[in-house]
């Protein structure tokens, strides 16, 4: 659903989609991106571990490390501290209003 919302914005380009954090790292290694929007709860490599891997990856840093926005469905308070420690830029509820997500992406 978020891809559809993002795709309607003239100033935002979606350059990839991943099913898990390992795939996200692969995309970010190949494609310079400004922002990664990622679910905290993903299979194999969750969003917190993927954030750490992306921001700690030398190849990604050479391209320019992105800001990572994590989406959570439960225990937002618990995830905020872990996300901050992982280096995430922000954590939002998965059911956030589109305007809130778009404003955060643009920030």
Given a cut of 90, is residue 36 above it in pLDDT? yes
Domain 2-106 fold is Rossmann fold (3.40.50)
Domain ranges of the chain: 2-106
| Closest listed residue to residue 74, CA positions, set 24, 36, 39, 35 | 39
Partners of 71 in beta bridges:
39, 92
| Closest listed residue to residue 54, CA positions, set 3, 96, 92, 16 | 16
Q: Tell me the percentage of the chain whose pLDDT exceeds 90.
A: 61
pLDDT in tens, 39-83: 998 888 999 999 999 999 999 999 889 999 999 887 666 778 888
Taking phi over 0 as left and psi of -120 to 50 as alpha, with beta for the rest, 37 belongs to: beta
pLDDT computed for residue 93 by the predictor: 85
Name the pLDDT band for 102 (thresholds 50, 70, 90).
very high
pLDDT computed for residue 25 by the predictor: 92
How buried is residue 82: exposed, middle or buried, by Cβ count under 10 Å (0-12/13-18/19+)?
middle
Q: How far is CA 99 from the centre of its chain?
A: 17
Alpha helices in the chain (DSSP H): 2-7, 21-30, 47-56, 58-63, 76-86, 98-106
Given a cut of 80, is residue 15 above it in pLDDT? yes
Mean pLDDT of 75-100: 85
């Amino acid at each position: 659903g978020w891809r559809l919302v993002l795709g309607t914005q003239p100033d935002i380009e979606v350059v990839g989609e991943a099913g898990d954090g390992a795939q996200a790292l692969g995309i970010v290694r190949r494609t310079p991106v400004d922002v990664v929007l990622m679910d905290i709860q993903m299979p194999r490599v969750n969003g917190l571990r993927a954030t750490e891997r992306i921001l700690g990856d030398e190849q990604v840093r050479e391209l320019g490390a992105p800001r990572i926005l994590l989406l959570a469905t439960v225990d937002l308070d618990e995830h905020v501290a872990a996300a901050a420690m992982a280096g995430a830029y922000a954590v939002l509820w998965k059911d956030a209003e589109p305007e809130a997500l778009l404003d955060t992406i643009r920030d």
